[in-house]
Structure 1
Amino acid sequence: MGCTEDRQAPRIALIVEYDGSGFSGWQRQHHALSVQEVLEQALSKVAADRVEVSCAGRTDAGVHAAHQVVHFDPPVERELHAWVLGSNANLPQAVSVICAYEVDRDFHARYKAVRRAYRYYFFCRRARPAIWCNRVAWTHRELDAELMHTAAQPLVGEHDFSAYRAVACQAPHAVREVYRLDVWRRGQMVVIEIEANAFLHHMVRNIAGTLLAVGSGERDTDWPRRLLVERDRTRSGITAPAAGLYLTGVVYPQQYALPAYADFLP
């Protein structure tokens, strides 16, 4: 008698968005609620079996995602819409699966990503916001977005970002390539958008905190460049609050045919 090889269900990639303010971050933890935990629980209910997921970027506590990418190997076959609708029926309102795709078995949400994009939002007003509470970083100071943009441009390119990494960052080296770093104003919002091949722990929030000092007039426009050269985290700006940070895009090789960016943010 010949043997028949069991057919594997295709690997599934999901685009997920979430408000991170009620979570301890993306990664599953023993004593705190994480986005990974609630998503795996929801998917496991759809599969009626255990499901584990991997993500493109492990966001910290309070950080949001408009375009997080995850993948998993389903223990059973389901229609793509069943993974979307079924998981959303079992998720808290702060987390939503936007769409699902079948991908090749060699796809990996983290290791196949070639670039990632983040946005950081400062809300500039004398009074603290209520509607935007936990979704932006509030400053009572007026910020000059044009000065911030000018100051940010020396950070574009491949550099050692030691001055912009967390003290506890575990990356083996601090060299990263930033493809674009733009700052603009939209009403009372000042938006920082950065795209790079990879990011260090707290890199975006530390850059945002440094540019905050430039925009408020506390520091000159050459300060971020000097910090880059000095490579000393203790001399750079504050770590900006988590609430202002959003993962907004993950780019993969074209063969996977996945959308790259969120398209609804202000």
Structure 2
Amino acid sequence: MRNIKLTIAYDGTDFHGFQAQPQLRTVQGTLEDALERLTGARIQVNGSGRTDAGVHAWGQIVNFHTDSRIPLEKWPIAMNVNLPNDVIVRQAEEVPPAFHARFDATGKVYRYQMDLGTYPDVFARRYAWHVPYRLNLSRMQKAAEHLVGSHDFTSFCNAATPVDDKVREIHGISFETRAHLLQITVTGSGFLWNMVRIMAGTLADVGRGRIEPEEIPEILAAKDRTKAGVTAPAHGLTLFEVIYPKV
């Protein structure tokens, strides 16, 4: 059996998230349907992680085991012929049998995009949260500095997050503006449910003066979701890259 690793991109607008769910259109289900048409076998796909409904990906990683002899360089072409136009296989690699897209990941990079124009950009409406307030970027950067490092992020995840250990390490947060679009890139060891969206919403609240940058350590220490800011909408979030150990 071969272990194939795919790098995929998708527009999450019309998906009910990544994870397969009965009777719902999901990225995992769509990939598995394509693999079945291609190989004649029902093959389970392992994802590096779940993305919620409406969240996009540029660098989602999946792997699967197959006895198909399709040449490695043909996998992207063969898959893309069998996929809808809102999912694209960008790269295929053959990896060791034990490789697992989720369990071998050591970090992830997410990007959250805000549309700061007076009126919504019709061409960015699927990929950026329109924030019709003047945001102070300097304040947001100061607040972000307090989020970098290893912290208990209970205040920055969905209250229903089904894990006990909510300590995660954020390696860096950067900001980039292009015309009226603000892109926030967050790199970390791992992320909790809604964590990046709550971070983005909180930073937006800092930028508009609702929260002071110096309050972030207190919000972290509270371990209380109600102390942080709003949960930014899903459509502004993109899973940009999944990080694995170099071999």
After TM superposition, give the deviation of residue 248 of structure 1 in Å. 0.6
Structure 2 counterpart of 1:248, from 206, 229, 240: 240
- The one-character-per-residue Cα deviations of 1:10-44 (angstroms, maximum 9, x if unpaired) are 20000000000100000001121101111111122
Q: Which region of structure 1 is more displaced relative to structure 2, 128-137 or 59-68?
A: 128-137
For the pair 1:213 / 2:205, whether they are aligned, the reply is: yes
Residue 165 of structure 1 corresponds to which residue in structure 2? 157
What's the TM-score, normalizing by structure 2?
0.97
SS for the counterpart of 2:213 is coil
Residue 123 of structure 2 corresponds to which residue in structure 1? 131
**Are the equivalent residues in 2 in contact too, given 1:23–1:35 (CA < 8 A)?**
yes
> In the comparison of the two structures, how many residue pairs are matched?
247
Pairing 1:148-159 to 2, within 5 Å after superposition? 148-159=140-151
- The one-character-per-residue Cα deviations of 1:146-180 (angstroms, maximum 9, x if unpaired) are 22111111111111111001011012211011111
Consecutive unaligned residues of structure 2, counting only runs of 5 or more, are none
Residue 24 of structure 2 corresponds to which residue in structure 1? 32
Residue 45 of structure 1 corresponds to which residue in structure 2? 37
Residue 230 of structure 1 corresponds to which residue in structure 2? 222
CA distance in 2, matches of 1:146, 1:55: 36
CA distance in 1, matches of 2:228, 2:245: 35
One-letter amino acid of the structure 2 residue matched with residue 208 of structure 1: A
Consecutive unaligned residues of structure 1, counting only runs of 5 or more, are 1-7, 256-266
After TM superposition, give the deviation of residue 208 of structure 1 in Å. 0.5
**Are the equivalent residues in 2 in contact too, given 1:11–1:72 (CA < 8 A)?**
yes
After TM superposition, give the deviation of residue 82 of structure 1 in Å. 2.5
SS for the counterpart of 2:174 is strand
What's the TM-score, normalizing by structure 1?
0.90
SS for the counterpart of 2:164 is coil
Q: Which region of structure 1 is more displaced relative to structure 2, 142-151 or 10-19?
A: 142-151
Pairing 1:4-23 to 2, within 5 Å after superposition? 8=1, 10-23=2-15
Going from structure 1 to structure 2, the CA distance change for 1:181 and 1:157 (only over 3 Å counts) comes to: same
Residue 51 of structure 2 corresponds to which residue in structure 1? 59
Structure 2 counterpart of 1:91, from 76, 83, 86: 83
**Are the equivalent residues in 2 in contact too, given 1:205–1:239 (CA < 8 A)?**
yes
CA distance in 1, matches of 2:199, 2:106: 21
SS for the counterpart of 1:168 is coil
- The one-character-per-residue Cα deviations of 1:224-244 (angstroms, maximum 9, x if unpaired) are 222111111112101100000
Question: Root-mean-square deviation (CA), in Å?
Answer: 1.1
- Percent identity, please: 37
Residue 70 of structure 1 corresponds to which residue in structure 2? 62
Pairing 1:253-264 to 2, within 5 Å after superposition? 253-255=245-247
CA distance in 2, matches of 1:140, 1:163: 25
